[in-house]
């Protein structure tokens, strides 16, 4: 049977809490949770940023390794030289919104900009940088956060929760729910960086990836979608058959140059509206496999291009460029600025409606 253990992560936090916009008082409530299942799989979660800090899974010989980049304590997340959303929930809108501007029902909104002229992953104090309220549930933990009307420029009080549970099939189930009191936009996702050889190993260029998507949303130099859809056939973006990530990552291709590498959104070839397999990641040496199932229409494959070897995680090993990757289930970046166009499902949430979406990371070996 599964277990949920609680450990308090707050310990060293106050001393290191130097960022101006973090409320020190919040940190007294920073906690950590450890979920374990009958196979010995262990997942650690903190309510700081609703962050997955560690995922320990076996290889094909039964050797355990931690396959997620992360830190041991909340102060390390706060004080990291680069706060790159490691393992966190990002939002209220994951990924970019062009110039941080959009309108709903003719009313214009301006968001905090934190990625050049654009808005990225919820802004300056997105959901990855706030303390969520935690409550243990059967086989997991439910984290809730009230994002206030006007926070980072977004309209509406948004009541959001993510429930993480661990199953005996080695699945991390992430169930997101939200309601609002004013029309707003929502697009949350988990931003775990994976290396199936173990966190801090060399690159993920030897991992084999398959993505069930035959179209991408090409971007401009600022990684904002142009509004077109591109067929992956004959391009470095064709992962419909399993492909080694390193094969085309340096191809002479304008989209790859913008990445630089993979930092793009695939539109999933969905059959219906339920949970479907979006992507499969395989690492041949260890035999570890990660399958991503989702109800979302798209997935962002980010090949860790901006990791620079200037950060070390919980094991003390350096995170080099492309030593981990993210598979972020989502609606396409900047969707709100394509609202109503064919192929761009709405990201607006209105009072009385419920945002309800599930994504699963499932681990196995082959
Ligand atoms: C984005 C990247 C960004 C990274 C970390 C990804 O989701 O697509 O462009 O650099 O997150 O910030």
Q: What is the pLDDT of residues 103-154, one digit of tens each?
A: 999 999 999 999 999 999 999 999 999 999 999 999 999 999 999 999 999 9
Q: Tokens 């959104």 map to which residue? A: 265
Tell me the per-residue pLDDT of 44-80, one tens digit each, with 9 for 90 and over: 999 999 999 999 999 999 999 999 999 988 888 888 8
Residue 339 appears among annotated catalytic residues: no
The model's pTM is: 0.94
Nearest Cα residue to atom 7 of ligand 1: 95
CA 261–ligand 1 middle distance (angstroms): 12
Check pLDDT > 90 for residue 7.
Answer: no
Locate CATH 2.70.98.10 in the chain: 2-190, 208-348
Other Cβ atoms less than 10 A from the Cβ of 243: the count is 16
Mean pLDDT over all residues of the chain?
93
CA–CA gap between residue 191 and residue 211 (Å, rounded): 17
Q: CB under 8 Å, gap of 24 or more: what pairs does 293-296 form? A: 293/359, 293/360, 293/362, 294/268, 294/329, 294/357, 294/358, 294/359, 294/360, 295/357, 295/358, 295/359, 296/189, 296/268, 296/329, 296/330, 296/331, 296/357, 296/359
Pocket flag, ligand 1, residue 229 (CB < 6 Å): no
Nearby residues of 186 by Cβ (< 8 Å), 6 or more positions away: 91, 92, 93, 158, 160, 178, 180, 347, 349, 355
Per-residue pLDDT, 74: 84
CATH topology for 208-348 is Beta-galactosidase; Chain A, domain 5 (2.70.98)
Contact at 8 Å (CB) between 312 and 318?
Answer: yes
Nearest to 320 by CA among 209, 201, 207: 201
Nearest Cα residue to atom 5 of ligand 1: 84
DSSP character at residue 128: G
Contact at 8 Å (CB) between 207 and 304?
Answer: no
Contact at 8 Å (CB) between 88 and 69?
Answer: no
Q: Which residues pair with 252 in a beta bridge?
A: none
From the options 1.10.10.10, 3.20.20.140, 2.70.98.10, 3.30.1360.30, give the CATH code of 2-190.
Answer: 2.70.98.10
Q: What is the widest separation between alpha-carbon atoms in the chain?
A: 58
Share of the chain above pLDDT 90, in %: 87
Share of the chain above pLDDT 70, in %: 93
Per-residue pLDDT, 2: 54
Tell me the per-residue pLDDT of 203-256, one tens digit each, with 9 for 90 and over: 999 999 999 999 999 999 999 999 999 999 999 999 999 999 999 999 999 999
CA 280–ligand 1 middle distance (angstroms): 20
Check pLDDT > 50 for residue 326.
Answer: yes
CA 121–ligand 1 middle distance (angstroms): 8
CA–CA gap between residue 248 and residue 238 (Å, rounded): 10
Q: Tokens 């990855």 map to which residue? A: 128
Contact at 8 Å (CB) between 16 and 24?
Answer: no
């Amino acid at each position: 049977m599964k277990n949920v253990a609680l450990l308090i992560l707050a310990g060293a936090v106050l001393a290191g809490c130097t960022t101006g916009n973090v409320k020190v008082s919040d940190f007294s409530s920073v906690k950590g949770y450890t979920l374990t299942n009958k196979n010995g799989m262990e997942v650690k979660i903190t309510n700081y940023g609703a962050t997955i800090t560690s995922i320990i899974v076996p290889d094909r010989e039964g050797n355990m390794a931690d396959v997620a980049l992360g830190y041991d304590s909340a102060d390390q997340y706060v004080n990291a030289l680069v706060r790159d959303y490691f393992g966190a929930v990002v939002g209220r809108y994951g990924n970019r919104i062009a110039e941080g501007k959009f309108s709903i029902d003719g009313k214009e909104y301006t968001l905090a900009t934190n990625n050049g002229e654009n808005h990225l992953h919820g802004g300056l104090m997105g959901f990855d940088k706030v303390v969520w309220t935690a409550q243990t549930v059967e086989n997991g933990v439910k984290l809730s956060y009230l994002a206030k009307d006007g926070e980072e420029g977004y309209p509406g009080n948004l009541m959001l929760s993510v429930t993480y549970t661990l199953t005996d099939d080695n699945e991390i189930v992430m169930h997101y729910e939200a309601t609002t009191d004013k029309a707003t936009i929502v697009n949350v996702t988990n931003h775990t960086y994976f290396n199936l050889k173990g966190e801090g190993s060399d690159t993920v260029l030897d991992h084999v990836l398959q993505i069930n998507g035959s179209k991408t949303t090409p971007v401009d130099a600022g990684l904002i979608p142009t509004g077109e859809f591109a067929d992956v056939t004959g391009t470095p973006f064709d992962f419909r058959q399993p492909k080694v990530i390193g094969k085309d990552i340096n191809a002479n291709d304008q989209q790859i140059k913008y990445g630089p590498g993979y930092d793009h959104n695939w539109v999933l070839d969905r059959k219906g509206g339920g949970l479907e397999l979006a992507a499969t990641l395989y690492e041949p040496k260890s035999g570890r496999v990660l399958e991503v199932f989702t109800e979302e229409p798209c997935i962002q494959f980010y090949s860790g291009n901006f990791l620079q070897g200037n950060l070390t995680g919980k094991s003390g090993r350096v995170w080099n460029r492309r030593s981990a990757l993210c598979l972020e289930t989502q609606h396409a970046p900047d969707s709100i600025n394509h609202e109503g166009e064919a192929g761009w499902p709405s990201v607006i949430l209105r009072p009385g409606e419920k945002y309800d979406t599930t994504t699963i990371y499932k681990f196995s070996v082959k």
